[in-house]
A and B are shown apart, each in its own frame.
Chain A
């Protein structure tokens, strides 16, 4: 059985659906092929314990960009956001340190700890804004160039020259340095309160495969606080209904534009003819002919599993193999019989609408990173957790709650052998103990727990290495993307094949921006050439 479409999109994840919806809206015949039994990819919700929904992704993250919200009418299709109210670090003395989306409010909160740090926080945000302006030309990449030429590594410096004119020389050099600094050293330079430094770094490093004192981590702070220009719309928050609800609304948008989604349709092969993609083959034997094929899988999954490797150049395969996807984020979901009691935070406090941390110093974070690097189970895991059922009643029965715990620096390549139930149980215990230290009676409320290691995420969602951002966001991969310049701009080195996964420009996080940007590139390529 052969179906004919204009665009076949592999994977019904956030970016796949976004690209599909844009292209369908543009009048193309689009079909999305999802191997699972529901849409959502890495962002799908699951009901593992009866009555409780465990959203897969779900720490406070960047909201979907306003332009996508607007273009795809997601609000009409049921999407709702809960803006994050604060980020909190609970300290062992029963106190808490909170920072807020509003800079002024945060400054006044920090004043209680240190006047100096409060002012430094204000100036740090200025620095981050400057840096965002500086980084913009790099993030914008060479989208405008359609020629497939070898990139000039000095090209970004030419853009810097333009920035010098716009920004002032000294500020520009400061930004350049910030981009290669370690977050730990940068924070040590700004602040004196250890908990504040760990508080800012603890969230910024979520998902990263680097430690606080690894060079080049400073820019992660800009991202976590939402200072990049493309983040300026929408702020930071949670999707009501979990990330799965976001995918649902995208699917509805896709349908409304006449696009189609086929579930349980695992693509086994991308068809090639004369070096151009001509369609896909499903593992149950169906073929779909498509003039354009788009993969929302990561680079490794796309090229190493969907192709006859003989049809690709060895040098290219080598480059694909070199892409680093060492996942570092694990996740634990906890079903709770009632709202846990945290003496540091009253039950009705707005601080519940936020991510909480416990790690007190940067060195503790660094130790957690070392464990990951050394391939051992975290001895003192760094966790970021929230209780989304407090602000989203769709996730748990009335009065009951769901807690999501993200374990940063969880390795999947344990030296002492793969994760088994016993090791997982021990880690869960460690995490629960940590939380229980701040919440008397916490353990008695637990009805069910589930731990997902990066490997589980890989198995469940086909993410290489379980890396939620489809590849490490280190500068050698991100800013220069030298190995894959064209891939970073969505065009694969194979005719008619595009990538739209979150590893592509502009990378990472629940943004759907990669899907949007891929759709724009594809749309431009599909537009009839105008001859003058």
Chain B
């Protein structure tokens, strides 16, 4: 009886979306012997982690461009090292640019960074050690929660109790006054939190930038410190060797994950745009593609954003109303843009050597106020004249991307609204002009070396990558959309209220960034359920 039922389905599991989380999930499931198909709407795997042509004969990391927290378990379970990822020997440090040419270099080496800060402020330098230690301690608590499905506090099962116990123990390791600061840190705003430690605007600006990355949150929003803790958590859980710019661009990570999935036996179908989930007797039993083809599977895993999964793919009348109401209120309006320039020379930056320019991540975010002011505009469907920029010029270290005399400048722009009043088509050029103007302050001849450019506003990302709102993390990483609420208490364990449907994208616990953690966690849950079923 069981056997014949099994045979009714073409696959055990269909995974929708071959972004990194979809790839990780599919590979993990296939590795455990499941018949898995991975369906990707685009002609290429990778989702936002792709290397594509950004100008004629120039390749670049179109969206995401740096790695800093690919989960260790993903790396080891899928033996990624076997699939040929090498990292550029650089991008280990961040240089926060200052208009006066007095830049600040931040590295993963705390002592070195401390010394660098000392030339700005001795008290900040001293506090940096305390800050770093505390941040890591808090992140260790969160990493207990992040590296597994979120433990319930209601209907708590044995596993949940164990996990809470672990989190508590991690907290108990902190000195008493610091453990008290943990909730304070979670609920305070970045600006306030950083003000408690530092006086140097440049340092605070750089730290704040990394914390809000991709989210529609300003550093003055309460709860934005969560972003700082989250980033440190991903770094703790991440493989320290997978850091910086992968040779071949960010797509190299996706390619390696894809190879791991194929090797494990998963089918990957490109150009397979899923337009609906097929439901029989209330359970999801497969998907329908744009061309009308159906693919049946005993379970479907969506790595797409929650709104797309539950409001557009799931047929009306399949999920309960309170749950749907919450999905309708899920906030995923993108707030970051990506701009990629093709250059015919490496631009000169005031106060930086060429080596520094080509081997570092450059940040233009001189203060938390600068960042907050940039954010103000997005609320009113405007873009700021002074956006914060994260700049990487990887081509000097990665010859695979372009001819020797060609270069790529990859820029992450904060903030950028999903909609602008005038419509993006009318103001896209002005948007790029503003960015070039900001760049000119630091690299006066930048305009002369730009040969071509590519802009991806949240609206473009939404359209090109099928991401609701064009939000990099599938939804703001805010207190009301994290932990129990990512995407909702009823789906925080990757199982959804609809039988046969799972989620594994950045919109699920613990959240976004190139970590593979949601995909990996989801695969564990699905395998457990499969075992129980058998």
Residues of A within 8 A of B (CB): 150-154, 157, 160-161, 164, 169-170, 172-173, 176-177, 180-182, 185, 188-189, 210, 213-216, 315, 322, 324, 363, 366-367, 370, 373-374, 474-476, 479-480, 482-483, 485
Contact = CB atoms under 8 A, between A and B. Distances in A.
A176 B478 contact: no
Contact of A216 (B181, B187, B192, B329): B187
B187 A153 contact: no
B329 A215 contact: no
22 contacts: A150-B177, A153-B171, A153-B179, A153-B183, A157-B153, A173-B484, A177-B480, A180-B478, A181-B480, A185-B480, A214-B221, A215-B478, A215-B480, A216-B222, A216-B479, A322-B196, A370-B379, A373-B376, A374-B373, A474-B189, A482-B182, A485-B180
Nearest to A158: B153
Interface centre among A322, A370, A476 (most CB of B within 10 A): A476
B153 A161 contact: yes
B93 interface: no
B188 A474 contact: yes
A181 B325 CA distance: 15
Given A215-B222, A374-B376, A150 B180 contact: yes
A366 B485 contact: no
Q: Which of B184, B217, B380, B478 has the most CB of A within 10 A?
A: B184
A366 B382 CA distance: 14
Interface string B151-175: 0011100000000000010010000
Contacts, number: 103
A214 B180 contact: no
Given A180-B223, A185-B329, A480-B183, A172 B154 contact: yes
B235 interface: no
Contacts of B471: none
Given A324-B192, A367-B380, A154 B171 contact: yes
Contacts of A215: 217, 221-224, 478-480
Contacts of B154: 164, 169-170, 172-173
Contacts of A172: 154
A151 B222 contact: no
A170 B223 contact: no
Nearest to A481: B184
A213 B220 CA distance: 11
Contacts of B380: 363, 367
Nearest to B154: A169
Nearest to A180: B479
Interface of B: 153-155, 168, 171, 176-177, 179-184, 186-189, 192, 196, 217, 220-224, 322, 325, 329, 331, 372-373, 376, 379-380, 478-480, 484-485, 489
Contacts of A169: 154-155
Choose among B168, B222, B322, B484 the residue with the greatest number of A CB atoms under 10 Å from its CB: B222
A317 to B, nearest CB: 13
A150 B446 CA distance: 55
Given A214-B222, A480-B183, A480-B187, A180 B480 contact: yes
B180 A153 contact: yes
Contacts of B376: 370, 373-374
Closest 5 CB pairs of A and B: A169-B154, A150-B176, A180-B479, A476-B188, A476-B187
A407 to B, nearest CB: 20
Contacts of A474: 187-189, 222
B430 to A, nearest CB: 22
Contact of B187 (A185, A189, A475): A475
Given A173-B484, A474-B222, A476-B222, A150 B179 contact: yes
A151 B180 contact: yes
A161 B177 CA distance: 24
